[in-house]
Amino acid sequence: MQKFVRAGLWAFGAVMVTLATGAVATNHSLWINGRTGGGVLGNYADFTYWGPSSTEAGVNKKSVNWDGYNHISDQNYLVRNALDCYCTGTNWCYVAAHSAGDLMIGYTLSMYGGSTRQKKNAVPGSDGVCSNASSGGTQTGWNIKWVDVAAGAGGGSELADAGDWAISEPLVSDLKTSTARAMYDHNNTRSTWFYMYTGANGTAYSFVLPGQDDEVVAYHSSGGVSGSSGGSYCNPGDWLCNDLTLGSAANEGGRAKWSNHSVAFRDDAEAFKHSTGKAWGGVVSKVRADMVANAR
């Protein structure tokens, strides 16, 4: 309900801006990939990571491609370029992120969300950079309505801790649980809400991951659970671990979620895996459905 109330207020605000300035306000849906990447950097029409580009995925969908290999800090300029292009001036954005894309957008807002941004014209060049808006001017941060996160790795993954991935990848060092949780202030979302969608269809090697998991990240990460280290969180009725609660309330056992983080979907049926399968699959399917229904 909170998301829908906010959506109505944003829509009203956009109309008021349009009437006051004569400018046309346009909404965009930005999709930020996770580890492995796949799309051409700077090409906002390349949805290789996600699935068929013809698939509906929110109003004016754009793929914010980064390489999914190097450090979050090194690749972050690509996300800032996209936010500058489509989320400044009279333009607003809905953001969807998958896996390490959670780290990427969280890092962006915490580290740069209070910075001065030049308003852009939403017409990117081949490098993904937009020119300054003809009206000129600057603003603080970006116009973001909300962030939907599928299988978020903002809290890191024990697979990175255990060396289950190629340790030569710079991103893997970022995905270690202690590193990911210390990388930036996860509570500082610049008042933007993060809606978390979790998966729980783990496999045999998931014993490395505490509590419920989707094969790659455990509930402590995908559920936005706060703290400097991960914990064991599960679906209601599971023994030997605390429940991950829906919404923004503290979890069973008292551990809070990060500020402005809310669990929108908990995989009680243990039906959703981590991977998209390059077909908008897994937990991403739940986020895509929400973006289609509410990112307008």
pLDDT along the chain (296 residues), means of 10: 53 45 80 97 98 98 98 98 98 98 98 98 97 95 98 97 86 97 98 98 82 96 96 92 97 98 98 98 98 97
Where do the H-state alpha helices sit in the chain? 2-21, 72-86, 100-112, 158-161, 170-174, 177-182, 219-222, 284-294
User: SS3 of 187, please?
Assistant: coil
Backbone angles phi and psi of 151, in degrees to 5:
50, 50
User: Is the CA virtual torsion 83, 281, 205, 256 positive or negative?
Assistant: positive
Supply the pLDDT for residue 5. Answer: 54
pLDDT at 2: 56
Please state, in angstroms and rounded to a whole number, the distance separating the CA atoms of residues 159 and 218.
10
Q: How far apart are CA 185 and CA 112, in angstroms?
A: 12
**Backbone φ, ψ for residue 29 (5° rounding):** -110, 115
pLDDT score, position 167: 80
Q: Give the separation between CA 220 and CA 230, rounded to whole angstroms.
A: 6
Q: Which residues contact 140 (CB under 8 A, 6 or more apart)?
A: 114, 115, 116, 117
Residue 158 has φ and ψ, to the nearest 5°, of -65, -20
DSSP symbol at 222: H
pLDDT of residue 10: 47
Cα–Cα distance, 287 to 33 (Å, whole number): 13
pTM for the model stands at: 0.93
Q: What is the pLDDT of residue 17?
A: 45
Give the pLDDT of residue 22: 45
> Which residue carries 């959670």 as its tokens?
102
Q: Which of 272, 235, 264, 267 is nearest to 252 (CA)?
A: 235
Residue 3 Cα distances to 8, 220, 263, 278, angstroms:
9, 22, 12, 28
In the chain, the amino acid numbered 49 is Y
179-228: pLDDT as tens digits: 999 999 999 999 999 999 999 999 766 689 999 999 999 999 999 999 99
Q: How far apart are CA 152 and CA 287, in angstroms?
A: 11
